[in-house]
Amino acid sequence: MKSHVYVLYGEESYLIQENKNKIIEKTLHKDDREFNISQYDLEETPIEEVVTDAETFPFLGEKKVVIAYNPVFLKGKPDKLSFEHDVDALLEYIQNPADYTVLIVVAPYEKLDERKKVFKQLKKQGEIIPCQPVKEWDIDQWIKTLADELHIVVPQDIYELFSREIGTNLMALRSEMEKLALNVGEGGVVTKELAEQLLSHSAEASGLKLVDAVMERDLGRAIQLYKDLEKLNEEPIALTALLASQFRIISQAKVLKQKGYGQNQMRNYIKAHPYVIKMALKRERYFTQKELNHIMEQLAQTDHTLKQGKIDKPLAFELLLYKLIQVKQQA
């Protein structure tokens, strides 16, 4: 083993899981894993108990793995717990870890406080492995990598469909790819039709499709999308808010673009997934600012009407779609 102490930190659960599994596979024989892996939640268990376990000889076999989740003491502002961690006990252990134990500390946080003595010691004596969310521009490579692992073929021309429906969540991407692999079998090719049918649809993706139907003045498609969402128990009030959110981003993107901002700069002002901003920039050119203002007014009016409960909600939402398309047709 390269190290006896690892820290896996970041918010990408798939990478945490993958790295954790790799460390376990390198440390323990398959037959030893049932008895020689122990796990603790540091929001419930003091770190000194974890250290005691790490110092205890394995029950069976020659090696053991101890996993400690949620080390709040590594955060800049630690959460308040009903007890205090004896971080000094961990510091002592890190300097002289048991050679029969691999300690894995899992910190599912965006950042760790690198100024802290315990972090510096972990970095010096152990190995810090970042598990941060994947950047939008890396997702195509991950689609290819996962397809290769699962022995299926995903044509490049449907990569954008995966990005749109799943975003950059690798755990969700892996799950969806496994679902497709089960359908096409080893060596099978994933078609666009199958992907559209099987991929779990995110709310943001559905919002973008409704925006497209309005943009294309296709009332029939807009109503059909709404009916599909209705079957998934999506409420008209929530869908109105979703549309308002998408059109607000499109409007913001249009204004910022006119001021000379690039897509990366816009992220500082528009709190949305980078893919949503990218799509907003593609769509803003189809609307004038006047049209966008009118659309936002219609959305606000419908939201008010729905919340008052004076009209049948599905009917009110269908009327909204009709009005939004009329805004484009009158242009």
For 111, phi then psi, to 5°, come to -135, 155
pLDDT, residue 329, reads 54
For 106, phi then psi, to 5°, come to -105, 110
Residues 123 and 28 both lie in one domain: yes
Dump pLDDT digits (tens) for 206-249. 666 777 788 788 888 888 888 877 776 778 898 898 889 889 99
Residues 106 and 65 both lie in one domain: yes
C-alpha distances out from residue 138 to 59, 167, 282, Å: 43, 11, 20
Residue 288 tokens read as 């004038």
Find out whether 248 and 296 touch, Cβ atoms under 8 Å. yes
Choosing from 198, 224, 251, the residue where a domain stops is: 198
DSSP-assigned letter for residue 275: H
CATH code, domain with 276: 1.20.272.10
Task: Tell me the residue range of the domain where 114 lies.
Answer: 5-130
For 10, phi then psi, to 5°, come to 135, 175
Residues 103 and 145 both lie in one domain: no
Can you list the alpha helix ranges (DSSP code H) found in 66-191? 87-95, 117-125, 139-149, 159-166, 170-184
- Is the pLDDT at 24 greater than 90, yes or no? yes
CATH code, domain with 64: 3.40.50.300
How many structural domains are present in the chain?
Answer: 3
Distance CA 173, CA 14 (A): 9
The pLDDT confidence band at residue 159, using thresholds 50, 70 and 90, is confident
Q: How many CB atoms lie within 10 A of CB 1?
A: 11
Dump pLDDT digits (tens) for 236-285. 898 898 889 889 999 999 999 999 998 888 888 887 777 778 888 988 98
Distance CA 3, CA 170 (A): 26
Residues 209 and 172 both lie in one domain: no
Residues 58 and 41 both lie in one domain: yes
Choosing from 176, 198, 220, the residue where a domain stops is: 198
Choosing from 130, 153, 169, the residue where a domain stops is: 130
pLDDT, residue 1, reads 47
pLDDT, residue 204, reads 57
Distance CA 194, CA 199 (A): 8
- Is the pLDDT at 34 greater than 60, yes or no? yes
For 37, phi then psi, to 5°, come to -125, 125
Residues 191 and 208 both lie in one domain: no
